Amino acid sequence: MAYHNNDGEVKEIGDSYIAGILHGGMGILFKMGKGWALRGEYRLQHISDPFKGDLGINTHNFIVGVSF
């Protein structure tokens, strides 16, 4: 599942051929025994031109899964 906040419009992200990328997140890992774990994560990615005043593109990701 993903969400973006560009209001249905995809605009150019500057014209300086340089993009700044910010990636961050947090999560929780619940061990269920014998190497199995239930996990939930939130990730944020932001891409914009650091030399222009654009809003950029934001992506919010929510991830739920099982790992071994």
Task: Give tens-digit pLDDT for 5-37.
Answer: 556 565 555 556 677 888 999 999 999 989 899
Does 62 reside within a domain?
A: yes
Does 5 reside within a domain?
A: no
Does 36 reside within a domain?
A: yes
Does 4 reside within a domain?
A: no
Does 29 reside within a domain?
A: yes
The total domain count for the chain is: 1
Q: Is the pTM of this model over 0.75?
A: no
* 62 Cβ contact partners less than 8 Å away, ≥ 6 residues apart: 1, 40, 41, 42
Q: What pLDDT is stored for residue 38 in this prediction? A: 95
Does 61 reside within a domain?
A: yes
Does 2 reside within a domain?
A: no
Domain that holds residue 40: 18-67
